[in-house]
Structure 1
Amino acid sequence: MNAIIDYFETISSFHRGLILVGGIAIFWLIENAFPLFKMQYNKIEHAGINIFFTITTIIVNFVMAFILLLAADFAIQQNIGILQWLPTMNIWIYTLLGLLLLDLIGAYLVHLVEHKVKFLWRFHLIHHTDTWIDTTSANRHHPGESVIRFAFTVLGVLIVGSPMWMVFLYQSLSVVFSQFNHANIPLPKKLDKFLSYFIISPDMHKVHHHYKLPYTDSNYGNIFSVWDRLFGTYKYLEREQIVYGVDTHMKPQENNQLGSLLKIPFQKYRNPES
């Protein structure tokens, strides 16, 4: 564990970028060889749109990274946050607890709030407009949403009181898990179901991308599935029944054109069907 801590205490931006690019490359190759759904779409064009949003997410996080560093340093120096108030414990338990709490605030909570607050939903909606979910869909976030998610990450760091190495570890795991559970890959159903008791499996997350309520408003987690099960937001739908997208934006000119996607948050709100 000490080797992991040492690595993430000094991890470079280059290595963090390699983790992101490497994850996409690996899952891209797997889903091309063994696709869950044989979707009729221009995979390169689709990837281009999603990679644009991935780049804007990277830029937002890079520009604002100093705030995250300040928050982590402040939490440690001022001895604030849940982890700082707990007694000394095994480093593995300490790390797992920290990752669980960061995932609760930085992934589950912000995701839930984005679905419940109309103003925030306007930005998150871009992620749900994707009608061809694959590994590149993982970071399909409007730049405005990237700012929102960054703010919740900072909040999580302060509440949890996590050191910076843990934040970098969490962010790296979060990227890979998101690429994994968005990937168009067919795990054996029994294996996927078993994994879903511990982590967000591909089938579990894809239910969240079904185009109609109440499934859209479910399975908010990113790494750990415990929060959805604990707070009653877990839902199951057979993979064969899933239709990707969101019912308010099913037209290709709205969900598959970069210019249109960037404008969605500033357009009139549309009520989803229930």
Structure 2
Amino acid sequence: MQSFTDYFATIPSAHRALILAGGIACFWAWESVTPLFGTTYRKGAHALVNVFFTVTTIVVNFGLAFLLLRASEWAVAHDFGVLYWLPPRPLWLGAIVGLLLLDLVSAWLAHVVSHHVRPLWKLHLVHHSDTHVDTTTANRHHPGESVVRFTFTALAVVVTGAPLWMVFLYQALSVVLSQFNHANIRLPAALDRALSWVIVSPDMHKVHHHYALPHTDSNFGNIFSIWDRLFGTFRTIDRRELVYGIDTHLDPREHESIPALLTMPFRPRP
């Protein structure tokens, strides 16, 4: 376990990039074999738009990375955070607790707030406006939302008291699981349901991308499904009834153009 934590404490940037690119490549190929919905859309052109926002997300996260480092160092130096307030426990159990807490604050809570605070929702619309959800949608976030999400991640690190290795481990899992649950893949229904008791499965997250309420305001989780089940935000829908996008922004001119998506949060609705 110690060698595992040592690796993630000093994980090279090249390895982190490989996790991101390797995940996209893996799930992109998987989508071609067992797609949930036929790929009749222009998959390449669609991916280019989403890759642009993936790059902006990387730039924001890289530019602000020092804040995560400082937050983690401060928490560890001052024995601050939930992990320090709990009784002694094995390292593996502490890792599970820490990952759960990081997921609660930096993903679930951030996501809920983004749906219920209007200025943040307008930023989050860029993600929800995608009418062809696939693995590239996972990182389709407006740069402004990337800053918001980073802020919640820094808060989560302090609240949890997460050491740096745990932060990097969480981010690696978050990237891969987000690509997985956005991917346009068809799992056997029974397997998907079984997975959704532990992690956010593809069918579970696709409910969140249904174009209309109340389904849009459900299934906010990123890695673990426990928070939606615990806080009553878990919903299901027959996968055959799914319609992606958001009912206020169904015009392709709004959600298939990079300039239109960048300005989307700042345009008044007609």
TM-score under structure 2 length normalisation: 0.99
Counterpart-to-counterpart distance in 1, 2:58 and 2:220: 22
Alignment of 1:46-125 (within 5 A): 46-125=46-125
Q: Which amino acid aligns with 2:213?
A: L
- Give the secondary-structure state (helix, strand or coil) at the position aligned to 2:217: coil
Match of 2:255 in 1: 255
Counterpart-to-counterpart distance in 2, 1:9 and 1:147: 23
Match of 1:34 in 2: 34
Q: CA contact under 8 A between 1:210 and 1:243: conserved in structure 2?
A: yes
Match of 1:240 in 2: 240
Match of 1:229 in 2: 229
Counterpart-to-counterpart distance in 2, 1:198 and 1:34: 23
Q: Which amino acid aligns with 2:150?
A: F
Counterpart-to-counterpart distance in 2, 1:58 and 1:266: 22
**CA positional deviation for 1:39:** 3.2
Q: % of aligned pairs identical?
A: 59
Aligned pairs, number: 270
Counterpart-to-counterpart distance in 1, 2:193 and 2:60: 35
**CA positional deviation for 1:269:** 4.9
Match of 2:137 in 1: 137
**CA positional deviation for 1:262:** 0.4
Q: Unpaired segments of 5 or more residues in structure 1?
A: none
Match of 1:14 in 2: 14
Tell me, yes or no, if structure 1 residue 185 matches structure 2 residue 157.
no
Q: Which runs of 4+ in 1 moved over 6 A?
A: none
**CA positional deviation for 1:59:** 0.4
1:118-174 deviation digits (Å, cap 9, x = unpaired): 010010110000000000000000000000000000000000000010000000000
Match of 1:211 in 2: 211
Q: Unpaired segments of 5 or more residues in structure 2?
A: none
Q: CA contact under 8 A between 1:122 and 1:269: conserved in structure 2?
A: no
- Give the secondary-structure state (helix, strand or coil) at the position aligned to 2:215: coil
Counterpart-to-counterpart distance in 1, 2:165 and 2:84: 15
Counterpart-to-counterpart distance in 2, 1:35 and 1:236: 20
Counterpart-to-counterpart distance in 1, 2:32 and 2:50: 17
Q: CA contact under 8 A between 1:82 and 1:160: conserved in structure 2?
A: yes
Match of 1:173 in 2: 173
TM-score under structure 1 length normalisation: 0.97
